[in-house]
Structure 1
Amino acid sequence: MTGTTPNVYAGIDTHQNTNHVGIINEVGKKLGDHEFPTTMTGYRDLLSFILSFGTILVVGIEGTASYGAGITAYLRTQNVLVKEVIRPNRQTRRGGKSDPIDSYAAAKTVAADGHELPIPKLLGGAIDGIRVLLKTRATALKSRTAAITQIIHFLTTAPTEVREKYAGMKDTDLHATLARTRPVANDLLGIALRRLARRIEFLTTEIDDAYDQLAALTKDVAPALAATKGVGPISAAKLLVTAGENSERITSKAAFAALCGTSPLQASSGKTTRHRLNKGGDRQANSALFDIVKSRMASDPRTREYVARRIAEGKSKKEAMRCLKRYVAAEVYKLIVNPPAVPAVDDLRVLRQSKSMSLRIVAEHFSIDQVKVSRIERARARDDEFSARYREFLLETA
């Protein structure tokens, strides 16, 4: 016997009120298991229990984004390497199911495939706040859409005099008008329409407030990403949530592209060599990349030139957009993992006003829209090359 401390692997089967941990050694021998409550005291006792068997190599946890979020965060604060273990489906549970069986299975999985298992996303930080706010806004949008659809349906089947009264009204005017109505007690249709219209107004305020909060949060957490051309607050929020608080867990641009579902997959067979669309990955991040590409195709000359060139080469517009999403994913990865400093632009407006120069004069000089100049001055849009030329122009103007 050398007297050295043995190395151990641990697996945790998580539940709402308990965590069951199982420990094995490097050759897979079961050393012990125990159940602990999901409290701070329980987390400390669980870690002490594992350490009583030896030095922890890796801990595998099931449900790191749900019941396992608390123990995952605690172990990370104690510098313990945690890997996410996917719960086995029912068909693969040959040895039955119980908390000890599942915890030992998680330990064996992390011991055998630990280098391939993902590092879980951290919850509870600033980006987790963005995630919660983004989900809340999404449910509000869904509820508002349902209310708008109900109004349309109710008016479609309403009596002729009711349909004619509101015919031709735009959505915003219609909802405002219905919200101000005072239906009598026996006018059940009128009462329902007013309730739906007031619900829409309330939800619209909630959605707008959430948008403003997300704009401020994304700018604070990832200023380089938020300031990038074509990246709005919602797209930035979705991409940050996908990357997570501990974005260092994503080891390369290719890994991030795969996470976003923008990496092409081999679909070759025999003499045919081709790739197919990756329908996996985080679809929320994929939709954010799609929105960024659409925005750049509408406003960025270089993007439009790229699309025109790929179409001339025989690609379809859809295929060109897929290529662009891959490029944008690589750009976003660098902006999140290794963000550059965002050049300050708060001096531009002050400098222009000191020269008694209007936005119209600047816009005419550079042959661009006044709105773009204003947005850049207010850091609502980013164009580092233009900002540098704009500042140089202002400084040279007498």
Structure 2
Amino acid sequence: MVMVAETVDAVIGGDTHRDTHALEMTAPNGATIATLSIANNASGFADVLAWITEHAPGPRIVVGLEGTRSYGVGLARTLSGAGILVVEVECPRRQTRRRGKSDPIDAHLAALQVLRMDDSRKALPRKDGEREAIRILLGARHDMTVARTAQINRLRALLLTGDDDDRLLARVTMTEHNLGSIARRRGRSGESTEVQVRRAEARGLALAIRDGARALADNKQQLSELVAVFAPGLQDKLGVGPVSGGQLIVSWSHHGRCRHEAAFATLAGVSPVPASSGRTHRHRPGRGGDRQLNRALHDIVLTRWRMCPRTHAYIATSRARGKSDPEIRRSLKRYTARELSHPERHCRSLTNIEASFERPTKSTR
């Protein structure tokens, strides 16, 4: 294994915050060359570039930053635009804080973390551009889904405390037709204040739920168009829709972030982890990684569990061998991760994402 310390002239560790960033330039032997504190704005980023030019002992520089997709995103973009390699570093664990905690100390620990990295396994941050557009849509969809679920629960709870007609409506599926029926209801003369308020609140919730469903449909259409442009053929795979396909693109990000399909499976948390003891020999699913990617694979497997003849044959064979359904699902998720990331077997989807980023794309609206 070749470490980063053997291939660079210096590394820079960065501890990023909302207002300021602390940076330290470190030699390959771990000695501090220079330190810098900057404001988290364009002027501060320009100071970093000038500081690197002044103090760097050579051209081979690697920068390790915490939060490259949060507080450190501006600095990461500036450095990448200047041709400097940026890698993602994790927040130091408590066991490594023997010298205490401060921004300069965290910057030094970030630099040491980069020096100890395997040079062929550097943690590259996710890409900007069109991939970021899909991530934004997925984040918005998550928030809309959570809000709509809460509104449906509130509406059902409200109707359950009403009269017989209300309690009947509380048990129906909240389709657009049923929501329209709830929204069109009018009060009767002589109703109590409680009934009037309940009816008005139910009407407002029904309209909000219906609007939320339409917003989700528009969101899904945008995702479908973006995924079709960036990964042609991905949605043709059984079980892969706009949402799960978009999550695959966001997590994969770009060619090189996952070195091979096993790394992609580890990122998704579907690599088998040994869990044997004594005469028991078994594996369990990993519980780390990108949980949204894990959920996307889970949704794909559930669809194939219902509809795919090959999956049905595998399930029957595995059950005959004594495997439980959770073990079968774990194996299917691992196989699905292999199918959706292997360059030779899936050449029209994830392996073409980076190339599609470089092609001019048509408008998605």
* Residue 30 of structure 1, CA deviation: 1.3
* Residue 195 of structure 1, CA deviation: 1.1
Contact (CA 8 Å) 2:159, 2:167: kept in 1 or not? Answer: no
**For residue 121 of structure 1, what is the aligned residue in structure 2?**
126
* Residue 230 of structure 1, CA deviation: 2.0
* Residue 129 of structure 1, CA deviation: 0.8
**For residue 258 of structure 1, what is the aligned residue in structure 2?**
266
The 5 A counterparts of 1:119-198 are: 119-122=124-127, 124-158=128-162, 160=163, 163=166, 166=169, 169-172=172-175, 173-182=177-186, 186=193, 187-198=196-207
Contact (CA 8 Å) 2:233, 2:349: kept in 1 or not? Answer: yes
Contact (CA 8 Å) 1:214, 1:233: kept in 2 or not? Answer: yes
Q: Larger radius of gyration, structure 1 or 2? A: 1
Choose from 286, 289, 306 the match for 1:278. 286
**For residue 353 of structure 2, what is the aligned residue in structure 1?**
none
Q: TM-score, normalised by structure 1?
A: 0.77
**For residue 306 of structure 2, what is the aligned residue in structure 1?**
298
- State the Cα deviation string for residues 295-324 of structure 1 (Å, max 9, x = none): 223222222222212222222233222212
Assess, with a 3 A threshold, how the Cα gap between structure 1 residues 101 and 170 changes in structure 2: closer, same or farther: closer
Contact (CA 8 Å) 2:247, 2:296: kept in 1 or not? Answer: yes
In structure 1, runs of 5+ residues without a counterpart are 1-5, 343-398
Choose from 101, 105, 108 the match for 1:101. 105
The one-letter code of the counterpart of 2:31 is K
- State the Cα deviation string for residues 372-394 of structure 1 (Å, max 9, x = none): xxxxxxxxxxxxxxxxxxxxxxx
**For residue 230 of structure 1, what is the aligned residue in structure 2?**
239
1: CA distance between counterparts of 2:50 and 2:86?
16
2: CA distance between counterparts of 1:341 and 1:260?
17
In structure 2, runs of 5+ residues without a counterpart are 1-7, 351-365
1: CA distance between counterparts of 2:64 and 2:279?
42
Contact (CA 8 Å) 1:240, 1:336: kept in 2 or not? Answer: no
**For residue 229 of structure 2, what is the aligned residue in structure 1?**
220
The one-letter code of the counterpart of 1:18 is T
* Residue 247 of structure 1, CA deviation: 3.5
Contact (CA 8 Å) 2:234, 2:349: kept in 1 or not? Answer: no
Assess, with a 3 A threshold, how the Cα gap between structure 1 residues 145 and 31 changes in structure 2: closer, same or farther: same
Contact (CA 8 Å) 2:231, 2:349: kept in 1 or not? Answer: no
Choose from 31, 43, 46 the match for 2:45. 43
Assess, with a 3 A threshold, how the Cα gap between structure 1 residues 276 and 117 changes in structure 2: closer, same or farther: same
Contact (CA 8 Å) 2:160, 2:170: kept in 1 or not? Answer: no
The 5 A counterparts of 1:1-398 are: 7-53=9-55, 54-55=57-58, 56-90=60-94, 92-113=96-117, 115=119, 117-122=122-127, 124-158=128-162, 160=163, 163=166, 166=169, 169-172=172-175, 173-182=177-186, 186=193, 187-244=196-253, 246-270=254-278, 272-334=280-342, 339-340=347-348
Q: TM-score, normalised by structure 2?
A: 0.83
- State the Cα deviation string for residues 91-111 of structure 1 (Å, max 9, x = none): 542212222222122112211
Assess, with a 3 A threshold, how the Cα gap between structure 1 residues 44 and 226 changes in structure 2: closer, same or farther: farther
SS in 2 for 1:34: strand
2: CA distance between counterparts of 1:98 and 1:164?
58
The one-letter code of the counterpart of 1:24 is T
- State the Cα deviation string for residues 163-191 of structure 1 (Å, max 9, x = none): 36847754224321222235599421112
* Residue 271 of structure 1, CA deviation: 5.1
- State the Cα deviation string for residues 56-80 of structure 1 (Å, max 9, x = none): 4321111112111122222222232
Deviates more, 1:199-208 or 1:13-22: 13-22
2: CA distance between counterparts of 1:335 and 1:213?
26
* Residue 47 of structure 1, CA deviation: 2.3
The one-letter code of the counterpart of 1:196 is L
Assess, with a 3 A threshold, how the Cα gap between structure 1 residues 121 and 166 changes in structure 2: closer, same or farther: closer
Assess, with a 3 A threshold, how the Cα gap between structure 1 residues 164 and 147 changes in structure 2: closer, same or farther: closer
1: CA distance between counterparts of 2:79 and 2:338?
31
Deviates more, 1:15-24 or 1:208-217: 15-24
The one-letter code of the counterpart of 1:284 is Q
SS in 2 for 1:281: coil
Deviates more, 1:328-337 or 1:140-149: 328-337
* Residue 259 of structure 1, CA deviation: 0.6
* Residue 273 of structure 1, CA deviation: 3.4
**For residue 354 of structure 2, what is the aligned residue in structure 1?**
none
Assess, with a 3 A threshold, how the Cα gap between structure 1 residues 10 and 143 changes in structure 2: closer, same or farther: same
SS in 2 for 1:248: coil
2: CA distance between counterparts of 1:17 and 1:104?
19
